[in-house]
């Protein structure tokens, strides 16, 4: 049987191994935060923001930011229906109510017109998730937020390498969050980052992230609020430091894989791939193929075809409102429709052209069979 093709795996070199080994051997006592602080500084420079806080996950970073904004019971938070559960879980854990709106057909990100229509006096935040690397329409969302006095938050977990004009994803909203999970463009194994240009918000999150200990409090081990523990490990941060040094290479690798898929699938009628509108940069974290309705190709047929070819592939995110813990939103027809005829394609960093050709052959084979 042909070798199995993974849908993703990280790019780890001797640089990551060297830094992680140093952290394991020497990163204790007075040096226990050295790589963490270095990662925060280096990522801030890459992103072009003033403040960063390394966290144990993107979910934790989002939780901290929402808590620092005071979001809680009785509040509503608007986000797209097409998302992974991690984007909404902190909203639920804080006692607020998520409001799911439908997505746009091309970018698969939340529809700004529906966002504005969903605003009520209880709306306290809008979470813009840059799905699979596609950018939300930040001009329209920031305008809506400004007119209604509602902060726009960027969940850029999947958007390393993406940009809106000249500004990188995650740097435009009230705050942004990133994921460094092992599947992401840049990894620390598990981990994330909170980023902001707001010094007051940064100060509140810094306190919350350290068990409620205020840096200006003179008494040792004297928390002033009940905080959280979402801190990244120093060894994980060491891996991240190496990844940030290589981040240009990692981003370019994702874009090259996407370009190759476009080449392999060019001229085919019936398959749409991730878009990159003029003036927008897509980091293409997860190349995705959406079959036209007229082809009759379904999610289930795609799963079977890739399994038969010994290739790992991921389904497009189920609408959150389809999950049993949330209220159904049948009006979000685009989110439900696209999920039923789409598949995420393998895109790991050292994927060669032969492997991509095998993936493309599955897609073209499904079209020919119709």
Name the pLDDT band for 242 (thresholds 50, 70, 90): very high
The tens digit of pLDDT for each residue in 8-18 reads: 999 999 999 99
Q: What is the pLDDT of residue 1?
A: 59
The tens digit of pLDDT for each residue in 94-153 reads: 999 999 999 999 999 999 999 999 999 999 999 999 999 999 999 999 999 999 999 999
* Domain residue extents for the chain: 14-101+108-245, 247-368
Longest CA–CA separation in the chain, Å: 71
pLDDT, mean of residues 327-341? 97
Coil, helix or strand for 357?
Answer: helix
Q: What is the CATH number of domain 14-101+108-245?
A: 3.40.640.10
Sign of CA dihedral 183, 184, 185, 188: negative
Eight-class DSSP state of 6: P
Eight-class DSSP state of 348: -
- Hey, which CATH number is domain 247-368, 3.40.50.300, 3.30.565.10, 3.90.1150.10, 4.10.410.60? 3.90.1150.10
* Closest alpha carbon to 62 in 79, 38, 46: 79
The tens digit of pLDDT for each residue in 108-118 reads: 999 999 999 99
The tens digit of pLDDT for each residue in 56-98 reads: 999 999 999 999 999 999 999 999 999 999 999 999 999 999 9
Phi and psi based region of residue 150 (left: phi greater than 0; alpha: psi -120 to 50; beta: remaining): beta
Rg (CA), the chain: 21
Residue 2 confidence (pLDDT) above 90: no
* Closest alpha carbon to 68 in 216, 207, 193: 207
User: Which phi and psi angles does 5 have, rounded to 5°?
Assistant: -100, 120
The token duo for 85 is 């559960």
Residue 370 confidence (pLDDT) above 70: no
More confidently predicted of 215 and 306 = 306
The Cβ of residue 246 has, within 10 Å, a number of other Cβ atoms equal to: 16
Q: How far apart are CA 72 and CA 89, in angstroms?
A: 13
pLDDT, mean of residues 274-288? 97
């Amino acid at each position: 049987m042909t070798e199995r093709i993974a849908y993703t795996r990280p790019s780890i070199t001797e640089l990551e191994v060297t830094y992680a080994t140093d952290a394991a051997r020497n990163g204790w006592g007075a040096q226990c935060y050295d790589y963490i602080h270095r990662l925060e500084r280096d990522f801030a420079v890459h992103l072009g923001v003033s403040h960063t806080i390394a966290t144990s996950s993107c979910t934790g970073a989002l939780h901290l930011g929402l808590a620092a904004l005071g979001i809680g019971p009785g509040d509503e938070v608007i986000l797209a229906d097409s998302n992974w559960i991690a984007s909404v879980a902190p909203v639920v854990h804080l006692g607020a109510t998520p409001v799911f709106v439908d997505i746009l057909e091309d970018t698969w990100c939340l529809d700004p017109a529906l966002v504005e229509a969903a605003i009520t006096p209880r709306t306290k935040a809008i979470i813009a998730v840059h799905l699979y690397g596609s950018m939300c329409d930040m001009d329209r969302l920031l305008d809506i937020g400004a007119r209604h006095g509602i902060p726009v938050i960027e969940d850029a977990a999947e958007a390393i390498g993406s940009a809106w004009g000249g500004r990188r994803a995650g740097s435009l909203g009230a705050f942004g969050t990133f994921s460094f999970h092992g599947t992401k463009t840049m990894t620390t194994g598990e981990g994330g980052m909170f980023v902001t240009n707001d010094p007051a918000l940064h100060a509140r999150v810094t306190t919350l992230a350290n068990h409620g200990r205020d840096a200006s409090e003179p008494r040792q081990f004297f928390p002033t609020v009940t905080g959280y523990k979402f801190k990244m490990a120093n060894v994980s941060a060491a891996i991240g430091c190496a990844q940030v040094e290589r981040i240009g290479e990692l981003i370019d690798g994702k874009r090259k894989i996407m370009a190759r898929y476009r080449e392999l699938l060019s001229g085919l009628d019936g398959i749409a791939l991730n878009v990159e509108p003029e003036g927008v940069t897509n980091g293409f974290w997860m190349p995705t193929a959406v079959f036209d309705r007229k082809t009759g190709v379904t999610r289930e047929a795609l799963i079977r075809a890739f399994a038969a070819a010994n290739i790992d592939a991921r389904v497009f995110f189920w609408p959150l409102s389809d999950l049993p813990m949330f209220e159904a939103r049948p009006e979000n027809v685009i989110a439900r429709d696209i999920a039923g005829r789409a598949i995420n394609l393998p895109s790991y960093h050292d994927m060669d052209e032969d492997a991509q050709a095998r993936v493309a052959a599955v897609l073209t084979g499904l079209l020919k069979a119709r």
